Structure 1
């Protein structure tokens, strides 16, 4: 489910970006006056003398965005009951990081705006835009491991919940008691249907729409209804009984296929999955590819000319928003991560390293959807409204660039995958303790003048970056050979050990290097199902003789530890530990030096 969610959000980033660019082009075109005119077009429904009308922008911001927040409620409910948020030690760190990532940006903004006309906009830089963040991480690719994505997704969920609470508490102008009481009665009716286990979609749709209207009239922002209703939707793990019934129905259809048997099988299979998960599956594409891009089109348009840019460059509102997103988010998430780890409140998924966390903290400064949402609630003044939007665009762009630079710098400096405290205090050996022997995996001539021994991990992003570089060195230097030894970092990379086992299974069939290349070419997809697919391509039985495979991998690991290997990739060139950068030019120079000395 997590992988499906990530693919949907990351894939929608391009659509969201196109909508944002279109809004900016429209607002700065010769027809710019039509932008505001169009979104202020009234639209409503009437029944006799009764009528209900909003302009198009409010239908988007108050109506369609309620579906967006409904999905957030569904995700929160699922994660709390069945997902990552069940483990308090895993949720503690991203939850505190999310809190720090809201408190510090708000503080940075208020340092520049306290007591001024823009003070009410302190909530603008507090929220992270999940879709854009995951889109940037998709561009980063293998530099960002799955545990970091899981960490940032948990942080984003907590961030969204806190943002909704802030909108409800601080951005509600006035309250209508009769409408509020009506909303409470309607919510009680929905809870009663849930308690009575009456699952009739039309009843929930009618009551939900009425609750939305009552909440809108009460003065509380109706998006609060969306997240509340999402949390109320039932979520459960499939029971053995339901799975048995589903299996029997499918078997019945397979034995005697008919339309009635097909309908019964589909009904049984559907009932085995909770309503929460089914709704997420159906609504996520609509939210990601329609609702959020339409919201961006309706709200991202701001005039960008010499006058507005000069005003924004000196505006405490624009500067406060931009610095809140760029600096406040980074510092707040870093402090919010360091503090619970220091106090022992929780742990990180996969023992992430600080360089990865710094990159994740930087890209979390991309604030867009909720930030634009709060701008519309915080400012009535058109000039402050536009300055805040310019601050959002500038801060988000700079945060994306900063995150990309951090990931890139850590990558290009030849970093290794290892936990923050993995290096021991004592001096590590500088030479290869176990020489290359008949049992090693060797690529290249037996009598090569230069031998490169790599201790690697198939899921390590740095190893993946190094893979084509080593291949290029072998191609250009026929007197160089490469020896690969396994060093899977199990706590950091959950699929590394399984990938090593499959590689050893391929070695038994004489196709180790074919599998080696296949695994590195697809290192972001190393689940058991993926590994079985790669094994089938090479006619390999992946899970045969596992004890022997594990023992073979352990031999490599033991030799690595004896040689002072603590992270991956670690290289030895002609038996001497290589300490340079993991780029083509640096390794080529080291190879040439060893060739001359040999």
Structure 2
């Protein structure tokens, strides 16, 4: 959130600087700078463009590449893995694409001005999230996820429009080269290439070829980002990395250092490593430089007055501000009323309408499409004025809506619950330690989750540190992407009926990659259980219902992934290593002791 709010502030500063420069006595210097030609050549082969085109056709490819990376990650391991959560934002997103274009065309139905309909369909995701951090609810994590999901369709359609609607001439040869480069990225994913270099090289080839083909290079950036693989670390990868690190600690040789570094790198997908490398330069440099190069409009000599009477200016303002607010807000309302889906937990109608208003910040995509849609400098000027006005109006409207929603609807924080919905019950929960211990650590876990397997060591360290002062509670949260996790959870409950829950709990994590039905029966035999009774209990609906109750309590308590820890009744956020949890548990115990002391004095 700090990165996003700072990036938004830099965008505002860069835009104001561009406007001030373009309307100053030194405005000729602004124009000359943008027209300065920069050439990169190797022999007879090279690229030669002015700085304005290097920014729009070069640096912005990185921006759209990062957007593509984010979308791919959300589809693979993020919020979009559960397709049911995408219905409402996708319908709202469709409304936020169609209605703005119709409003613009209603005001500009003919001539060259009609070509500007694409200006109003895009949302500047970075600016939107930055303004959300500045004017939105104090905690807006769930609304942020909703808006990110919504902008997936927005970004893909906007880039498609750039590549198709505003491309007039195509060269087949370079287009084939670009297609082969993108196909190469897909092949690298299939053969599990983990180094980032080959992917980056193919992205560069796709970019240059796309420019040569006559397409806007942003489409190459988006498509390349969508093809770069994202995946969760596997247990095998983590075990190998851990063993390498132990070997290096025992024998710190250069070769082992290199091998350890490589194994640690492999555990994180290429997608996430590239995002980590590119997010800061994209937010702090590329997008502000784009604003500096495109927001400078000379408004002197009555130009501003002329722009404010132009139907293009007000078509852009109405399309972005009114169209996005009504299109997204109405789409979400229709989808929820028809029960096609639900809003994310913690997000209310006022939050959605406020986010819809902020989606009227088209800035980056809108300015980019402006340069492609119009040949006329006058129409470009009018559209840019409309885009800049929309940023101000959409931000103010969003702030007003959020304030009204907080005051009259009680919709303040748009975040997941942070308090345990179902108290610990010794009659049903599995508790390790004294039932009346002063400190409680509860974990929602998944037996097929590699992070949970590592967290078992963390839980052991925490229990050893606190001794009899702590009770450790386990509940089940089998994730949809882990096909054997729910059966494994039932197996643990079945073992619990024979008084061997904790033994089965440990055995399941020790054999995390072998959780088929026959494997579970074998573990029951190894642990000395009555295997026939165990197999009957595996089919008992009561145990399956017990697991589903745990999953429901996890959902109501704001747990979305595993492992999720609760310190007392409060959900722990952030790192879950032993040192962090111990410190959090100590603070919790100190606070509880202080509260009890105050009560006794009263």
- Alignment TM-score > 0.5, same fold: yes
Distance verdict in 2 for CA 1:208–1:142, change over 3 Å: closer
- The whole-number CA distance in structure 2 between the counterparts of 1:205 and 1:356 is 38
Distance verdict in 2 for CA 1:334–1:491, change over 3 Å: farther
Q: Return 5+ residue gaps in structure 2 as ranges.
A: 415-552, 597-602
Partner residue in 1 for 2:125 = 130
Q: CA deviation at 1:136?
A: 1.7
**Residues 67-108 of structure 1 deviation map (CA, whole Å, 9 limit, x = unaligned):** 111111111111111111111111111111111111111111
- The whole-number CA distance in structure 1 between the counterparts of 2:568 and 2:301 is 60
- Secondary structure of the 1:352 match is coil
- The whole-number CA distance in structure 2 between the counterparts of 1:203 and 1:414 is 52
Partner residue in 2 for 1:213 = 208
- Secondary structure of the 1:324 match is helix
Check the 8 A contact 1:172/1:221 in 2, yes or no. yes
Partner residue in 2 for 1:386 = 381
Q: 1:494 aligns with which of 544, 558, 564?
A: 558
Check the 8 A contact 1:106/1:126 in 2, yes or no. yes
- The whole-number CA distance in structure 2 between the counterparts of 1:499 and 1:216 is 47
Partner residue in 1 for 2:586 = 536
Partner residue in 1 for 2:454 = none
Check the 8 A contact 1:137/1:144 in 2, yes or no. no
Partner residue in 1 for 2:76 = 81
- Secondary structure of the 2:49 match is strand
Partner residue in 1 for 2:443 = none
Kindly report which structure 2 residues correspond to 1:502-517, keeping only aligned pairs within 5 A, or say none: 502=567
TM-score (norm 1): 0.69
Partner residue in 1 for 2:459 = none
- Secondary structure of the 2:38 match is strand
Q: Is 1:184 the equivalent of 2:248?
A: no
Q: CA deviation at 1:198?
A: 5.1
Check the 8 A contact 1:234/1:274 in 2, yes or no. yes
- The whole-number CA distance in structure 2 between the counterparts of 1:526 and 1:246 is 25
- Secondary structure of the 1:52 match is strand
Q: Is 1:300 the equivalent of 2:364?
A: no
Partner residue in 2 for 1:395 = 390
- The whole-number CA distance in structure 2 between the counterparts of 1:356 and 1:531 is 33
Q: Is 1:172 the equivalent of 2:167?
A: yes
- Secondary structure of the 2:342 match is coil
Check the 8 A contact 1:235/1:277 in 2, yes or no. yes
Partner residue in 2 for 1:276 = 271
Q: Is 1:313 the equivalent of 2:363?
A: no
Distance verdict in 2 for CA 1:184–1:358, change over 3 Å: closer
Distance verdict in 2 for CA 1:58–1:333, change over 3 Å: same
- Secondary structure of the 1:118 match is helix
- The whole-number CA distance in structure 2 between the counterparts of 1:68 and 1:168 is 16
Partner residue in 1 for 2:28 = 33
Partner residue in 1 for 2:55 = 60
- The whole-number CA distance in structure 2 between the counterparts of 1:494 and 1:185 is 44
Q: 1:112 aligns with which of 103, 107, 112?
A: 107
Partner residue in 2 for 1:485 = none
- The whole-number CA distance in structure 2 between the counterparts of 1:123 and 1:407 is 28
Q: Is 1:373 the equivalent of 2:437?
A: no
Check the 8 A contact 1:88/1:346 in 2, yes or no. no
- The whole-number CA distance in structure 2 between the counterparts of 1:197 and 1:534 is 39
Check the 8 A contact 1:353/1:417 in 2, yes or no. no
**Residues 92-130 of structure 1 deviation map (CA, whole Å, 9 limit, x = unaligned):** 111111111111111110000011331100011111112
Q: CA deviation at 1:178?
A: 2.8
Q: 2:404 aligns with which of 409, 420, 427?
A: 409
Partner residue in 1 for 2:142 = 147
Check the 8 A contact 1:143/1:407 in 2, yes or no. no
Q: CA deviation at 1:540?
A: 3.9
- Secondary structure of the 2:39 match is strand
- The whole-number CA distance in structure 2 between the counterparts of 1:12 and 1:22 is 15
- The whole-number CA distance in structure 1 between the counterparts of 2:135 and 2:413 is 19
Check the 8 A contact 1:70/1:227 in 2, yes or no. yes
For these two proteins, the number of residue pairs brought into alignment is 451
Check the 8 A contact 1:242/1:271 in 2, yes or no. yes
Q: CA deviation at 1:325?
A: 1.3
Q: 2:19 aligns with which of 18, 24, 31?
A: 24
Check the 8 A contact 1:144/1:356 in 2, yes or no. no
- Secondary structure of the 2:14 match is helix
Partner residue in 2 for 1:98 = 93
- The whole-number CA distance in structure 1 between the counterparts of 2:583 and 2:345 is 25
Check the 8 A contact 1:97/1:155 in 2, yes or no. yes
Partner residue in 2 for 1:463 = none
**Residues 295-323 of structure 1 deviation map (CA, whole Å, 9 limit, x = unaligned):** 11111111233612211111010000011
**Residues 242-296 of structure 1 deviation map (CA, whole Å, 9 limit, x = unaligned):** 1111222233344455554443332222111111111111111111111111111
Moved more, 35-44 or 49-58: 49-58
Distance verdict in 2 for CA 1:356–1:203, change over 3 Å: closer
Q: CA deviation at 1:399?
A: 0.7
Q: 1:162 aligns with which of 137, 153, 157?
A: 157
Distance verdict in 2 for CA 1:367–1:536, change over 3 Å: farther
